[in-house]
Chains A and B, each alone.
Chain A
């Protein structure tokens, strides 16, 4: 955080501890390309053997997106100053609607976030108020975690923003993988200079994604694990983000249960539902 009178502006305030609360949470679980589980009802056909790199990455990308789903998630954040776990329920409808409600810890229980279209609202049970989150804060850190909100709110597909090529095609630790390099297109509204993305060949599950800045320096690594089947979908149930500048810190997200193709309607994502305490 820097102060305006010190020749900086309030826009540079470091919202490292996460002002947006669970605003991005719904998005990270339910709409973000690399983190969300798949939903039944999405017709995602496995790409043919001679598929291009873009087709393969697009398949993984679409497989990881949700259409409608509910679930329970445990998020663990460890920083040099504190560590905490949060249990929460998440539900989503397409990329337009998402609702997240924190169950634990007790101090934050009931805190909820609603994404409706382009608007984000938070419900704070302690003060019994809903507040609208300004769009300018969507670039802030998310919930004190190592995910940025830029990761979370983005709704576009990787193939729309990046040119994708195969950097490595072979075996790593006895597993056949592809390693893709994603270079942003000149007009793409993305913050990364490049992304490297490893995908297993046999089941097309992502193994890791490495995010580099414009100078090519590795900034953070997202590792996928605990591949489990929820419903009829195989998804990575665990994702761990480790920042390169603080390798002792991490944010880990674990799905405890997930249901796909649930009966949800836009009315289930209203301000009234946001304030509901169940």
Chain B
């Protein structure tokens, strides 16, 4: 004798009205697909934002003097007024396993002028050899060439180039307050023009070799403002920062005025957006399955109503009400299992496709910036591993909750009245 006839009855009942079963299962499956794919897209959006927000310029980790931020004080160089052995510092940062590459930088506030036209901007001195391993700013070169170390050459943004009417080969004057209180000024040749499509960068940034900018700013070679580093997994940047701080202490001693911080600290708005996106996934899940619960309940109410005489007969023959309720619940769980299988069969190929080859929807909308990061018009998906499971659990939960009322009503059918047609 079957010890659990409720499961067999519930499962077989799905086949009685296959059209209704498949319609209901399709609704649940599509709900599963919607939640999972939307979560993947949201994850892709966040990944794109973090990737571009940190990858174009800032890097995922930065080392500064403790006094450098937030004002970016010209005098607050790593290691204080005495500076530091830059090569040793960069090597110490890069020695941390999570760090893929590191590069030194110097910053100044200055004017870029052709005489009649002048633009105020940020002057960034970079190690032209190391920088491309950390940020993509030098790969956005549109015209000309990269500046060469040891030369008064400068790379300017495309909007700045328009403002001062200068291009590769033209000479501009750089004016910047220097570290000795004087007004640093010198001629620089525009080696190239970069274009990130980020207005702030393209208008207000100019990039020179680090040694040339240090000379302009009257800063010795050992005085730098920043070591930027690339961490391949952005979400591991906080751990990497702790490891870098430990490495700096070990290599350069406790007294070194240097502090590593992850992008999650210096770009908190992106963390906030990621959290918001995560919470929106839950809202989406609740809305979709909250709607589905009524559809499933309606289906099971119809199904159990049609079978009320069967339930009455079983009760009359001695079946316990719990077995009747169990069969209805089993039907709901079986329906959920079918739906989940269908949902996974639909969602996984979409996720794999959009993850490996994100469709370009630039025909629909152009690129845009979000939290300082350039967003490409693509349907990029990140695998929503946790949501794959959580949505499946939600699907079963939805089906089970929807079956509670039909199960209770079925278990309470009066056998005599129902069989006699009253």
Contacts and interface: CB of A to CB of B under 8 A. Distances in A.
Interface of A: 1-7, 9-10, 13-19, 21, 77, 79, 81-84, 105, 107-108, 111, 122, 124, 126-127, 129-134, 136-137, 143-144
Given A77-B181, A108-B183, A10 B372 contact: no
Nearest to A143: B183
B120 interface: yes
15 contacts: A1-B74, A2-B70, A4-B201, A5-B372, A10-B204, A15-B120, A18-B177, A19-B110, A19-B176, A21-B175, A108-B183, A124-B175, A127-B186, A129-B173, A132-B115
B120 A13 contact: yes
A4 B109 contact: no
B371 interface: yes
Interface string B94-123: 000000000000011111010111111110
Given A15-B109, A111-B183, A5 B57 contact: yes
Contacts of A2: 70-72
Given A17-B177, A129-B173, 6 more contacts: A2-B70, A4-B200, A5-B372, A15-B120, A21-B175, A134-B118
B408 to A, nearest CB: 55
Contacts of B205: 4, 10
B177 A144 contact: yes
A6 B266 contact: yes
B181 A13 contact: no
Max chain A CB contacts within 10 Å: which of B107, B111, B117, B372? B111
A139 to B, nearest CB: 11
Contacts of B371: 7
Contact of B118 (A5, A18, A81, A132): A132
Q: Is the interface of A mostly helix, strand, loop or mixed?
A: loop
A76 to B, nearest CB: 11
A10 B204 CA distance: 6
B185 to A, nearest CB: 5
Interface in B300-322: none
A4 B203 CA distance: 10
Contact of B75 (A19, A21, A81): A81
A22 to B, nearest CB: 9
Contact of B267 (A6, A14, A137): A6
B187 interface: yes
B72 A134 contact: no
A138 to B, nearest CB: 11
Closest 3 CB pairs of A and B: A17-B177, A4-B200, A10-B204
Contact of A19 (B56, B71, B111, B181): B111
Nearest to A21: B183
Given A131-B113, A132-B113, A3 B177 contact: no
B173 A127 contact: yes
Contacts of B360: none
B122 A4 contact: yes
Interface in B111-151: 111, 113, 115-122
B175 A122 contact: yes
Contacts of A129: 113, 115, 173, 187
Nearest to A77: B181
Interface in B174-204: 175-183, 185-187, 198, 200-201, 203-204
Given A5-B372, A19-B109, A132-B117, A14 B72 contact: yes
Given A124-B185, A131-B173, A132-B115, A3 B53 contact: no
B269 interface: yes
B197 to A, nearest CB: 13
B234 to A, nearest CB: 15
Given A4-B204, A6-B266, A19 B177 contact: yes
A17 B120 contact: no
Interface in B185-227: 185-187, 198, 200-201, 203-205
Contacts of B117: 132
Contact of A82 (B53, B115, B122, B181): B181
A122 B173 CA distance: 11
A16 B76 CA distance: 13
B56 A5 contact: yes
Contact of B120 (A105, A108, A136): A136
Contacts of A124: 173, 175, 183, 185
A75 to B, nearest CB: 11
A156 to B, nearest CB: 25
B121 A10 contact: yes
Interface in B52-97: 53, 56-58, 70-75
Contacts of A1: 71-74, 107-109, 122
Contacts of B173: 124, 127, 129, 131
A16 B110 CA distance: 11
B122 to A, nearest CB: 5
A83 B182 CA distance: 10
Contacts of B111: 19, 131, 133-134, 137
Which among B111, B179, B183 has the highest number of chain A CB atoms within 10 Å? B183
Contact of B181 (A111, A136, A144): A144
B209 to A, nearest CB: 18
Contacts of B176: 19
A107 B182 contact: yes
B177 A82 contact: no
